[in-house]
Amino acid sequence: MSLQAVAQTGFERIENAFDASFGGADNPLRHLGAFGLFFLWILVASGLYLYTVLDTSIEGVYSSIGWLTREQWYLGGVLRSLHRYASDAFVIVMFLHLLREWACGRYHGFRFYSWITGVPLIWLVYVSGIGGYWIVWDRVAQFSAVATMELLDWLPIFSEPAARNFLAPYSISDRFFTVLVFIHIGVPLMLILGLWAHVNRISRVDYLPTRRAMLATLTAFLLLAAIKPAVSELPADLTLTPVDVRLDWFFLFLHPLTDLTSPAAIWTLIFGATILLFALPFLPHPQAQPIAVVDAANCNGCSRCHVDCPYEAITMAPHPDKADHRIAVVDADNCAGCGICAGSCPSSTPFRSQERLVTGIDMPQQPVDLQRQELEAKLAQLKGRTRLVVFGCDQGANVSALATADTATLSLICTGMLPPSFVEYALRSGADGVVVAGCREGGCDFRLGMEWTRERLSRQREPHLRNLVPLDRLQLVHASRSEGRQLAAAVNEFRTRLETDMTASTRPPAYSRRNR
């Protein structure tokens, strides 16, 4: 097993364990991007207030920040601590998000743009964060400034060593702090612009966690601010060399690492890691799925596929053959090949009398007509007292292991490509019950597939399951790749419930065997 596969399995197991405590909607590992944006807004809000009371003179910068911490601890001090802890949390979720996307192989194909635009954001975060520590101008700031300049001096940038500017008190002026503040405000603005570009090709972006998760996280930050408030070290003194300083290891870890190695080793590490991140999408990777194909004769321009697409890969354009009509157009660069659009198309119904079922938008590797043929063939072979059909997902638990004489299984690219009418078709064609299995809540490999499926089957989203279909004959199960046993247990429990209902004669007459 490769390192990437091991990492993916590890993330999946930890996320599943977190679900037990937080639930899918509040699980931080399933919403790292949303938590990162939440932390960024805390940084922006707290930073704006800190800026309004900051004195950017050499004499005043340290004392003004100290005044916030001591005299205005109830507001300025709390906001300073929030600023500190939110910045550390932002770095944590940023690297977890990076590692998780790599582990899941989400850096090539239609995800290429999001990956490439995300790499420069790491540089912006560290430029802003390290510069923010300098503004305080205490011993930590002095240590970081000198260490950073010594690191930069290794590069052929300055004609003279820049570290000399921090060897004597008269070597810096008020203008230095004005520039620092400008950088500390300007770079985050670039970061926000970069984040907008990072998610530009994603629809229905998870901008913020749930309200409950935000309140819990903010409460944790406030407790940290009360227990261990952010305070300054002794004021910077350029006549002395700072020793025994307390570093923020999330931002300033490069300084002690430079002391242990050398500037050449650190720049090799930094540039090497950056080049590797940029190069990952160009390295060998699994072949991309074929993109969705639109059939002009069957597309009625309803735009449901456009609305449901998780990656803004579908736009609506004038129909080439029908005046005053529109047709779906697929962007090959953005299409994930997930099939969610096929599940949203109203013409993807097996009840159509066409010998070959052609729908408005379909997946060439697993067309709706092939799904109908496979379902009919497996229904014809079902035997037993309680016959089930299990629709599964290639990204979730393996449903093929459940196939028996009384259980037919069909695995789809994504559960989101299942048209709700297939559930009714299976029940009308001989099945006693239908199980739809997909990824865990918040863990869909294509973001919205399981969410749209749940809404369609609960009649909250078009195309929805018809009202005449009894919901007690349908079971929706969330199961990740490693949860095959849990899926099997859920299917057996569903079968037992159906058999109990049959014994009690509670089955709706329209779907009893004598009416098949």
Return the closest-CA partner of residue 414 out of 482, 477, 307, 338.
Answer: 338
pLDDT at 199: 94
- Each residue's pLDDT tens digit, 477-507: 999 999 999 999 999 999 999 998 878 755 5
- Each residue's pLDDT tens digit, 142-184: 999 999 999 999 998 887 788 888 877 778 888 888 888 888 9
Looking at the structure, tell me whether residues 237 and 316 fall in a common domain. Answer: no
Checking if the pLDDT of 240 tops 60, the result is yes
**How far, in Å, CA of 72 to CA of 66, rounded?**
9
Looking at the structure, tell me whether residues 198 and 239 fall in a common domain. Answer: yes
pLDDT at 241: 85
Looking at the structure, tell me whether residues 428 and 494 fall in a common domain. Answer: yes
- Each residue's pLDDT tens digit, 332-380: 999 999 999 999 999 999 999 888 999 999 999 999 999 999 999 999 9
Is residue 199 situated within a structural domain?
Answer: yes
pLDDT at 53: 86
Is residue 26 situated within a structural domain?
Answer: no
Looking at the structure, tell me whether residues 434 and 317 fall in a common domain. Answer: yes
Is residue 18 situated within a structural domain?
Answer: no
| Type of residue found at 462 | E
- Which of 255, 282, 309 lies at the terminal end of a domain, its last residue? 282
The upper half-sphere exposure of residue 14, i.e. CA atoms within 13 Å in the direction of its Cβ, equals 11
Is residue 463 situated within a structural domain?
Answer: yes
**How far, in Å, CA of 70 to CA of 75, rounded?**
10
User: How buried is residue 58: exposed, middle or buried, by Cβ count under 10 Å (0-12/13-18/19+)?
Assistant: middle
Is residue 301 situated within a structural domain?
Answer: yes
Work out the pLDDT band at 513, boundaries 50, 70, 90: very low
**How far, in Å, CA of 148 to CA of 136, rounded?**
16
Q: What are phi and psi of 498, to 5 degrees?
A: -65, -40
pLDDT at 507: 53
pLDDT at 515: 42
| Rounded average pLDDT over 45-63 | 89
pLDDT at 502: 78
Can you give the length of the chain in residues?
516
| Rounded average pLDDT over 214-222 | 97
**How far, in Å, CA of 65 to CA of 55, rounded?**
8
Checking if the pLDDT of 263 tops 80, the result is yes
Whether the CA torsion 141, 147, 153, 157 is positive or negative: it is: negative
Work out the pLDDT band at 511, boundaries 50, 70, 90: low
Is residue 10 situated within a structural domain?
Answer: no
Work out the pLDDT band at 322, boundaries 50, 70, 90: confident
| Rounded average pLDDT over 62-86 | 92
Residue 429, C-beta contacts closer than 8 angstroms, at least 6 positions apart: 375, 376, 379, 516
Looking at the structure, tell me whether residues 84 and 149 fall in a common domain. Answer: yes
- Which of 235, 263, 282 lies at the terminal end of a domain, its last residue? 282
- Each residue's pLDDT tens digit, 128-140: 999 999 999 999 9
What residue numbers bound the domain in which 343 lies? 293-515
The percent of residues above 70 in pLDDT, for the chain, comes to 98
pLDDT at 505: 59
- Which of 282, 307, 329 lies at the terminal end of a domain, its last residue? 282
User: How buried is residue 155: exposed, middle or buried, by Cβ count under 10 Å (0-12/13-18/19+)?
Assistant: exposed
Looking at the structure, tell me whether residues 272 and 365 fall in a common domain. Answer: no
Looking at the structure, tell me whether residues 187 and 57 fall in a common domain. Answer: yes
Cβ neighbours, 10 Å, residue 299: 23
Looking at the structure, tell me whether residues 157 and 262 fall in a common domain. Answer: yes
Looking at the structure, tell me whether residues 275 and 309 fall in a common domain. Answer: no
Checking if the pLDDT of 4 tops 50, the result is yes
Looking at the structure, tell me whether residues 166 and 206 fall in a common domain. Answer: yes
**How far, in Å, CA of 486 to CA of 475, rounded?**
14
Work out the pLDDT band at 310, boundaries 50, 70, 90: very high
For residue 215, give the CATH number of its domain: 1.20.810.10
Checking if the pLDDT of 261 tops 60, the result is yes
Looking at the structure, tell me whether residues 333 and 257 fall in a common domain. Answer: no
Cβ neighbours, 10 Å, residue 150: 17
Work out the pLDDT band at 516, boundaries 50, 70, 90: very low
If DSSP codes are grouped into helix, strand and coil, which group holds residue 499?
helix
Is residue 98 situated within a structural domain?
Answer: yes
Overall domain count for the chain: 2
Is residue 288 situated within a structural domain?
Answer: no
Helix 263-279 vs helix 139-153: crossing angle, to nearest 10: 80
Looking at the structure, tell me whether residues 251 and 135 fall in a common domain. Answer: yes
pTM over 0.85: yes
